[in-house]
Copies of this chain bind each other. A is one copy, B any other.
């Protein structure tokens, strides 16, 4: 890993939480300079422009979250355990300290930044895919009733979680999120054989 590659990665890791929090438009170059303790030369030697930093920051956050979720899922031995482990990542506040990048970047990019929107779109679809894979495997293994619709379940579950994250951030507490996560679990139990 060359010096430049290391610096580039360092800039991304230092900027990502900031951009996730303050937004792309709301984060200035001086914010990034302060967070990295680098001068402009150090930043613009490694990135074309601010937008590139934003894009790489999103991709970094998305990958971080994905690996956290994948790890949680992989630790589950049954479909039920896999799903519950996944939900617990969202329930455990410190895993999502600065909010969900899909929600944050998605709402900002939807009307203004087609490339970023496309990246968020991929992230949504792969989050839903992670959920539907759990369900489909569960059906295959005779753990779950065939009555469960994996597509609908994954869409509904993804949506309600994102809505829950919004409520948690705005309301400032976990109460509603806990109700939501428990409801998902209770609904799901109906399909466990």
Residues of A within 8 A of B (CB): 21-23, 25-26, 98-99, 102-104, 106-112, 117, 120-121, 124-125, 151-152, 155-156, 158-164, 166-167, 169-172, 176, 179-180, 183
Contact = CB atoms under 8 A, between A and B. Distances in A.
A176 B158 CA distance: 11
Contacts of A23: 23, 25-26, 108, 112
Given A156-B183, A159-B160, A106 B26 contact: no
A164 B171 CA distance: 19
Contact of A107 (B120, B124, B166, B180): B166
Looking at A23, A120, A151, which has the most chain B CB atoms within 10 Å of its CB? A23
Given A23-B112, A159-B180, 14 more contacts: A22-B112, A26-B108, A26-B112, A99-B111, A106-B170, A107-B166, A109-B170, A117-B172, A155-B176, A155-B179, A156-B160, A156-B183, A158-B163, A159-B176
Contacts of A159: 159-164, 166-167, 176, 180
Contacts of A156: 160, 179-180, 183
A155 B170 contact: no
A160 B161 CA distance: 7
Contacts of A26: 23, 25, 108, 112
Contacts of A109: 170
20 contacts: A21-B111, A22-B25, A23-B23, A23-B112, A26-B112, A99-B111, A107-B108, A110-B169, A117-B172, A121-B172, A124-B171, A155-B167, A155-B179, A156-B179, A156-B183, A158-B163, A158-B167, A159-B159, A159-B161, A159-B167
Given A23-B108, A103-B107, A110-B99, A155 B169 contact: no
Among A99, A121, A169, the one with the most B-chain Cβ atoms within 10 Å of its Cβ is A169
